């Protein structure tokens, strides 16, 4: 998958006509396997723009830093990333008319981060890794919202296997589950990278940064870590768009998608059929952003 030429053409058209102030895409890094988020602001920048198999990042998250400005922004999104745009639109983080969306029908991407780790002497795996984990069960490879579309529409991949790991955990005994979660969460170094990478985490002041009162302690102890993860995952319920960025960036290899998928499954079961960020209807809100008297409350 290499759409560099098409994107450069669109970018030069948009920037030269002044239709947008910036184009969010990728540039090449120091290695073949490194593609990096890049913002082109002028004609001179256009030659740096690329889109290739390593364009894994969900750029929609970066729109948050422009939420208070007026700049018009062209952004390149894959199927999963485009669902992030819908989240931002639903939460009124950015208005539709500030965006020019260049959608890519995505045949799957590779992870530059994993390739860096493997090739830098930090792992036994020397070879370049296969497709990014999120792509294995991608339900939406084609953009759900766009102004211009590149590539041929793609089929969803292995939708039947999407909740396989979740089901395995559900089948554990309570004790086994507890041990499993204690093991994974005790590794967390509370760097908050999973939060920073997440488009659904769009609060201006995050609960984990509140100091008066401090809702979640700052110790890297099992109880504070559990609390962090419980709150993070609950806040993702009905909001996670399955882009996999949180798990990808986690330096401790914590299987965050397992937890996100469990919540995707539960929200769909309790409030669904529902899947976050699949269609944009103006004014529409995700399940946990509205209150309805018919909401299930038998757990109270």
Partner 1 sequence: MKFFKKGQIEKIVERLAEKADVFVPMLRGQQSGFFSWKSYDENYDDIIFDLLNVYSPPKNIILPQTEKMYSFDQQGQETIIKPEEIPVEPKVIFGIRSCDVKAIEYMDEVFLTRTFVDEYYKARRDQVAIVANACYNPGTNCFCKSMGVDHLNPEAADVILREVENGYVWESKTDKGDILTKQVEDLLEDQEVELYQPNRFVRKVNYDGVAEKLKDLFDHPMWERYSDPCQTCGICTYMCPTCYCFDVQVKNWGDEGYRFRCWDSCMYREYTLMAGGHNPREAAKERFRNRFLHKLQFFNERYGTPLCTGCGRCIVTCPAGVDIIRMIELIKEAEPSV
Identify the residue whose tokens are 């079961």.
269
Alpha-carbon span 134 to 52, nearest angstrom = 17
Contacts of 163 (CB under 8 A, 6+ apart): 261, 265
Cβ 228 vs Cβ 216: under 8 Å: yes
**Residue 243 touches which member of partner 1, ligand SF4, none, C-beta under 5-8 Å by kind:** ligand SF4
Among 119-127, 166-174, 198-206, 281-289, the segment contacting ligand SF4 (CB under 6 A): 198-206
Helix (H, G, I), strand (E, B) or coil at 104: strand
The answer to whether residue 94 forms part of the interface with ligand SF4 (CB under 6 A) is no
Among 18-26, 90-98, 238-246, 278-286, the segment contacting ligand SF4 (CB under 6 A): 238-246
| Separation in Å, CA 48 to CA 5, 14, 113 | 11, 16, 20
Kindly write down the DSSP assignment for every residue of 231-298, as one continuous string. Answer: HHHHHHTTT-----HHHHH-TT---HHHHHHHHHHHHHHHH-S--TTSS--TT---GGGS--TTS--T
The answer to whether residue 138 forms part of the interface with ligand SF4 (CB under 6 A) is no
Residues that bind partner 1 (CB under 8 A): 29-31, 34-39, 57, 61-62, 65, 112-113, 116-117, 119-124, 187, 189-193, 196-197, 205, 209, 211, 214, 217-221, 245, 248-249, 251-254
**Residue 119 touches which member of partner 1, ligand SF4, none, C-beta under 5-8 Å by kind:** partner 1
Question: Which residues, 156 to 195, sit near ligand SF4 by CB under 6 A?
Answer: 188-194
Closest approach of ligand SF4 to the CB of residue 118, in Å: 18
Whichever of 72 and 190 has its CB closer to ligand SF4, that residue is 190
């Amino acid at each position: 998958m290499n759409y560099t030429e098409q994107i450069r053409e669109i970018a030069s058209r948009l920037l030269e006509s002044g239709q947008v102030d910036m184009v969010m895409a990728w540039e090449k890094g120091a290695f073949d396997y490194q593609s990096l988020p890049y913002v082109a602001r002028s004609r001179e920048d256009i030659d740096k723009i690329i889109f290739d198999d390593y364009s894994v990042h969900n750029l929609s998250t970066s729109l948050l830093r422009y939420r208070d400005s007026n700049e018009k922004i062209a952004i390149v999104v894959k199927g999963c990333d485009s669902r992030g745009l819908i989240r931002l639109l639903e939460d009124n983080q950015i208005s539709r008319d500030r965006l020019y969306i260049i959608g890519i029908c995505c045949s799957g991407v590779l992870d530059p981060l994993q390739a860096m780790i493997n090739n830098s002497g930090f792992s036994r795996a020397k070879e370049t890794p296969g497709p990014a984990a999120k792509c294995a069960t991608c339900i939406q490879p084609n953009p759900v919202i766009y102004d211009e579309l590149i590539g041929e529409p793609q089929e969803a991949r292995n939708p039947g296997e999407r909740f396989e790991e979740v089901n395995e955990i559900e089948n554990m005994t309570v004790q086994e589950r507890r041990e499993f979660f204690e093991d994974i969460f005790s590794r967390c170094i509370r760097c908050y990278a999973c939060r920073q990478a997440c488009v659904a985490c769009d609060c201006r002041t995050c609960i984990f940064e509140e100091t008066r009162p401090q809702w979640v302690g700052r110790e890297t102890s099992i109880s504070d870590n559990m609390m962090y993860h419980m709150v993070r995952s609950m806040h993702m319920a009905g909001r996670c768009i399955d882009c996999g960025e949180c798990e990808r960036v986690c330096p401790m290899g914590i299987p965050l998608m397992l937890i996100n998928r469990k919540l995707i499954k539960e929200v769909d079961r309790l409030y669904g059929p529902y899947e976050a960020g699949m269609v944009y209807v103006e004014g529409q809100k995700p399940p946990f952003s509205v209150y309805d008297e018919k909401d299930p409350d038998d757990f109270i």
